[in-house]
């Protein structure tokens, strides 16, 4: 079924960004060999080289673009993609007809191929094989899987997973990951074919080796698009399917599976022991439990051992106390493990013990690491639910002293207000903590201070202005404060805007010019409130004369009516 376009010029601008979009306009005449299919659009764009572009419209209306230019291979929606997209939009009215014509050509080709004799089709295939090594390799593998020589199949599958031809610097970069992923996907197809042709036992062994090979190299591949992860998942599924069909030895399968799950090689596949419940049967599961428990006891702090033991206990309906023991063997320094334990206990209806573990997490958290924010929230919510509002405020106060920040101040304010103790007891001390944590330097203090942010968050603008004047504010805070006081204290705000315009005179770039225009508009608003528009006009004229060689700046000011 054909359909109209699902994207607009604004979509292209959003995907590419302003710079690439504008550059794409200049490549409209360079678009050739445009082919508009039902969901995929392909074309060639002549630039430094002849680049192949592919635009794909998703079922949800989203648009993705791929181009083999260097910028496109980094995953960007490049200027060549923009040019193709704009070219298609320029002929949007004819798109349904073009898609209908493409479908007709496909049907015509199918009909023609169906009418060829076996010899003619064989000749066409051999002609393609002579010029396409990748196609030849894929078909050789399919031929091998249909034959009897498993050794050849194994060799071809492992060669498909070999990253060396794609690793130019010992690493498969993003630009090469797509091609590698397409090749590696053939290994999954071959494994499935082995099982389908009655050689499931061989498929199990080859799949294990393929998983080991991909697991070793997965960390050396830029898999930003997840293509290689899909291959890894496919290999794991092919292995499970082969096991279900071939019924390998249950105890031996359990030993291999647990060993794989405990090894870093499983990072690529994320296999689950209990997906194999049917394959292992009770004898295999018993062996797996024995191995998992032994591994955890030998290394209770091991991440994989701990995760597998936890999974085993949950799947088997083990006791909460046993699960707590697994977690308690390796407590995170930020208290997060205490929180995990608390949640398990609370889910089991043991709320008092849960709170004890959470409180212990607060006490034992190492200052450089914690306490974990979620742990703090857990404790404070339980205190509040029990009416212990002062205790909740005390937790928040201690956290502010330990790690002064705007967020800590806000949390303490909320808790103290609930306890009716903010203005009377907590606020002055909290502000002193923030003040003591900052290091003023006559307005040159970089990064600002939580003190100024907190005062602005309280809408105490007079105190915020004083703190800024005492050296506790950076540029961001000065400008934010100026915006807040502009209507009531336009002269003070104007001083801030003019101060930050000056250094921009010596800088260049589109973002600089936009920032200068924003500040000038704010300055003009102050002059308007003060009734000194003529003074602003004189200032702006002088600035334009001083900056007249910056043509882009002049254009930016014109666009903003300055």
Per-residue pLDDT band for 143 (boundaries 50, 70, 90) equals low
> Residue 186: what pLDDT?
86
Residue percentage of the chain with pLDDT more than 90: 41
Kind and range of the H or E run holding 104: helix 95-114
How much is the average pLDDT of 465-481? 90
Per-residue pLDDT band for 446 (boundaries 50, 70, 90) equals low
How much is the average pLDDT of 185-210? 89
Domain ranges of the chain: 9-114, 486-562
Model confidence at 442: pLDDT above 70: no
Instruction: Look at residue 139 and give its three-state secondary structure.
Output: helix
Token pair, residue 167, equals 């690793």
Model confidence at 154: pLDDT above 70: yes
Based on the number of CB atoms within 10 Å of its own CB, is 542 exposed (0-12), middle (13-18) or buried (19 or more)? Answer: exposed
Distance CA 415, CA 157 (A): 61
Token pair, residue 308, equals 């597998």
Model confidence at 410: pLDDT above 90: yes
Helices 427-437 & 389-402 angle (0-180, nearest 10)? 10
| Bigger pLDDT: 372 vs 141 | 372
Model confidence at 316: pLDDT above 80: no
At a CB cut-off of 8 Å and minimum separation 6, what does 414 contact? 396
Per-residue pLDDT band for 445 (boundaries 50, 70, 90) equals very low
Considering the entire predicted model, what is its pTM? 0.58
Distance CA 517, CA 509 (A): 13
Mean pLDDT of the chain: 87
Q: What is the pLDDT of residues 255-283, one digit of tens each?
A: 999 999 988 767 777 788 888 999 999 99
> Residue 378: what pLDDT?
96
Model confidence at 404: pLDDT above 60: yes
Residue percentage of the chain with pLDDT more than 70: 94
Model confidence at 145: pLDDT above 80: no
Per-residue pLDDT band for 7 (boundaries 50, 70, 90) equals confident
Instruction: Establish how many alpha carbons lie within 13 A of residue 559's alpha carbon, considering only the half-sphere containing its beta carbon.
Output: 12
Whole-angstrom distance between the N-terminal and C-terminal Cα of the chain?
53
Model confidence at 59: pLDDT above 80: no
Supply angle C-alpha 127, 130, 136, rounded to 5: 105
> Residue 61: what pLDDT?
67
Q: Which residues sit opposite 40 in a β-bridge? A: 56
193, 189, 215, 211: which is closest to 202 by C-alpha? Answer: 193
CB 13 within 8 A of CB 78: no
Distance CA 196, CA 470 (A): 78
Per-residue pLDDT band for 1 (boundaries 50, 70, 90) equals very low
Distance CA 122, CA 140 (A): 15
Per-residue pLDDT band for 444 (boundaries 50, 70, 90) equals very low
Instruction: Look at residue 113 and give its three-state secondary structure.
Output: helix
> Starting from the edge strand earliest in sequence, which strands make up the sheet with 31-36, in order?
31-36, 40-46, 50-57, 63-67
């Amino acid at each position: 079924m054909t359909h109209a376009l699902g994207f607009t010029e604004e979509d292209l601008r959003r995907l590419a960004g302003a710079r690439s979009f504008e550059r794409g306009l200049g490549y409209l005449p360079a678009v050739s060999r445009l082919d508009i299919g039902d969901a995929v659009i392909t074309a060639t764009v002549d630039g430094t080289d002849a680049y192949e572009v592919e635009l794909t419209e998703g079922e949800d209306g989203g648009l993705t673009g791929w181009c083999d230019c260097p910028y496109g291979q980094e995953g960007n929606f490049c200027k060549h993609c923009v040019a193709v997209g704009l070219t298609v939009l320029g002929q949007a009215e004819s798109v349904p007809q073009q898609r209908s014509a493409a479908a007709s050509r496909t049907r015509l080709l199918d009909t023609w191929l169906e009418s060829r004799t076996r010899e003619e089709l064989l000749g066409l295939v051999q002609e393609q094989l002579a010029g396409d090594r990748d196609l030849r390799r894929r078909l050789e593998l399919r031929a091998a899987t249909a034959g009897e020589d498993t050794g050849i199949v194994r060799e071809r599958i492992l060669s498909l997973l070999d990253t060396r031809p794609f690793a130019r610097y010992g690493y498969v970069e993003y630009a090469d990951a797509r091609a590698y992923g397409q090749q590696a996907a053939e290994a999954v197809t071959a494994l499935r074919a082995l099982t389908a042709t009655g050689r499931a036992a061989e498929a199990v062994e080859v799949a294990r080796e393929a998983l080991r090979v991909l697991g070793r190299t997965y960390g050396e591949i830029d898999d930003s698009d997840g293509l290689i992860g899909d291959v890894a998942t496919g290999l794991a599924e092919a292995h499970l399917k082969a096991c279900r069909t071939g019924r390998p030895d249950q105890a031996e399968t359990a030993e291999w599976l647990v060993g794989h799950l405990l090894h870093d090689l499983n990072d690529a596949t994320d296999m689950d022991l209990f997906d194999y419940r049917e394959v292992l049967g009770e004898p295999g599961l018993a062996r797996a439990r024995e191995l998992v428990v032994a591994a955890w006891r030998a290394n209770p702090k091991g991440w994989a051992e701990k995760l597998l033991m936890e999974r085993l206990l949950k799947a088997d309906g083990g006791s909460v106390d046993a699960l707590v023991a697994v977690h308690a063997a390796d407590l995170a320094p930020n208290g997060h493990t205490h929180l995990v334990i608390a949640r398990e206990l609370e889910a089991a209806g043991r709320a008092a013990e849960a709170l004890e573990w959470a409180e212990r997490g607060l006490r034992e958290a190492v200052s450089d690491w914690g306490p974990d924010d979620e742990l703090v929230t857990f404790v404070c919510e339980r205190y509040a639910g029990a009416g212990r509002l002062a205790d909740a405020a005390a937790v928040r106060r201690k956290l502010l002293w330990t790690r002064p920040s705007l967020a800590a101040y806000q949390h303490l304010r909320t808790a103290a207000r609930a306890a009716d103790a903010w203005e009377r007891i907590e606020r002055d001390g909290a502000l002193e903590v923030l003040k003591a944590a900052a290091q003023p330097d006559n307005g040159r203090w970089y990064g600002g201070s939580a003190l100024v942010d907190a005062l602005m968050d309280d809408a105490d603008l007079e105190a915020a202005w004083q703190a800024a004047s005492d050296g506790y504010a950076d540029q961001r805070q000065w400008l934010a404060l100026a915006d807040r006081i502009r209507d009531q204290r336009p002269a003070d705000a104007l001083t801030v805007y003019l101060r930050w315009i000056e250094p921009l005179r010596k800088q260049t770039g589109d973002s600089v010019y936009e920032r200068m225009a924003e500040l000038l508009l704010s300055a003009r608003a102050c002059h308007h409130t003060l009734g000194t528009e003529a003074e602003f006009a004189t200032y702006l004229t002088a600035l334009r004369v001083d900056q007249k060689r910056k043509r882009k700046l002049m254009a930016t000011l014109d666009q903003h009516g300055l």
